[in-house]
A and B are shown apart, each in its own frame.
Chain A
Amino acid sequence: MKILYYSGCLPHSKTTGLTLPMPLIARALGIELVEIPNTCCGAFFTRNVIDMYGPVRVLLNARKIGSEVVTTCALCYNVLKQTNSTVKADAKKRSEISAFLNEDYSGEVKVYHFLEFIRDKIGFDKLSDLVKVNFRGLRIAPYYGCLLLRPYEEIRLDNPENPTIFEDFLASLGCEPIDFPYKIECCGSYLGAVSLDAVIEHSYAIIRSALKSGAEAIATACPLCHFNLDQMQGRIKERYRDVSDTPILYFTQLLAISLDIKEALGFEQHYIDPRPWLMKKLST
């Protein structure tokens, strides 16, 4: 199977774990990755026409090679999908965009998140057959954040109030998915620029809620959620004493470990290094 793959700015991010294991994962799953040029998607969807040139350019690049594009980043996924539906619904914006880019785009490229791709094209039951290292009931809390779920009309990945795709994914790797009340709550994303307090408070609430529900680690699909929960943990611990070191992992890192990929996982960039915890859990 051949897929178009868009990694965006993630290879230049603070934690590259979301895209770093992707070539090896693709090889293990028997997929051929075709990378499209890494032009920026804009990271944040606004209804301004000028901000839509970025995502439309990404989709135009994808259209030259194929009709479906896969991304691992929740931000890219959200922006590209909302751009698609805006271009379809708003003829005026569409004509302005095509006038600027000298190319007409009508929203025909289908955008997949890698989780969605596994669910729809590979199947979670088939994925569990491919797993080499079983996690044997590792208690992991799946944290969705906002961007995979909302706005529902445009995204339609899963139920916006009670999604299960992440739980199914973790269960197929042999983990025990922990359901916790804050799994769809916002972590504050880029609000660190205006109010660091808000980010620390919300990340604390999310981590505490996951720990109280019995989780040992949190899995996420968004680079901003990862930043707020992982890199901010030092500041959270300065303020609150009841948070113990909680490893925050990307879903691609978990998938890579379960497919017996040992190198290039990007764990050394994490604030809380998950390797000692993983070694302890996987060896016993």
Chain B
Amino acid sequence: MMLAETDLTKKIVEMSGQNVFSCNLCGKCTAGCPISDVMDIKPHQVVRLVQVKPEVLLESKAIWLCACCLTCVSRCPKMIDIAKIMEAYRILVLSLRKEDFVEYSPELSSLLPVQALVAVRSKYSMIHLPSYHPIIRLKKYFTRERLPMLMRGMRT
């Protein structure tokens, strides 16, 4: 049987650099995954779904719950980096949605330590995506009309 290789599959394979078609569905990743009990789609199912129905994962919770602990990577007999596949999906969804996945609330920042907040920023926020590059955004914001404002700000 031929596998349906859609454009999305190609894109995810290209972004993550992982050959998802070499997976033999042994399930070692799911067995080792510490978060698999709260995931809606398990890691071995993620790899299979990229092959046959990649659009399902765009709506899944699993890509956000992956903690990037890389247990699956160190145990995979086929050397597939599932964390990279999850990351490719996260980047894709953030750039499509154009909004952050987690909102910074006062409760969150009083609860979590600073390292966690910085990690959350890198993982769930779109500000690190190439299209939201700070300099590009500044250039977009400071158009010809707004430029005098910037100069005034620099002088004071």
Residue A51 CB within 8 A of the other chain: yes
- Asked if A43 contacts B34 (CB within 8 A), the reply is no
Number of A-B contacts (CB under 8 A): 124
Q: How many residues of B contact A (CB 8 A)?
A: 38
Residue B8 CB within 8 A of the other chain: no
Chain A residues positioned under 8 Å from B133 (CB to CB): 50
Q: Is the interface of A mostly helix, strand, loop or mixed?
A: loop
- Interface with B: A126-134, A182-190, A252-260, which one? A182-190
Contact of B70 among A12, A44, A151 (CB under 8 A): A151
Residue A194 CB within 8 A of the other chain: yes
- Asked if B65 contacts A13 (CB within 8 A), the reply is no
Residue A249 CB within 8 A of the other chain: no
Interface string of B105-145 (1 = CB under 8 A from A): 00010011111111110111000111001000000000000
Chain B residues positioned under 8 Å from A43 (CB to CB): 115-116, 118-119, 122
Please, how many angstroms separate the alpha-carbon atoms of A197 and B68 in the complex?
A: 17
Please, how many angstroms separate the alpha-carbon atoms of A189 and B120 in the complex?
A: 10
Residue A266 CB within 8 A of the other chain: no
Please, how many angstroms separate the alpha-carbon atoms of A75 and B113 in the complex?
A: 13
Residue A161 CB within 8 A of the other chain: yes
- Asked if A42 contacts B118 (CB within 8 A), the reply is yes
Contact of A44 among B65, B102, B118 (CB under 8 A): B118
Q: Which residues of B contact A (CB under 8 A)?
A: 34-35, 37-38, 64-65, 67-71, 73-75, 81, 84, 87, 91, 101-102, 108, 111-120, 122-124, 128-130, 133
List 10 A-B pairs, minimum CB-CB distance, nearest first: A186-B69, A44-B119, A190-B116, A150-B70, A146-B69, A43-B118, A190-B119, A44-B122, A186-B34, A14-B113
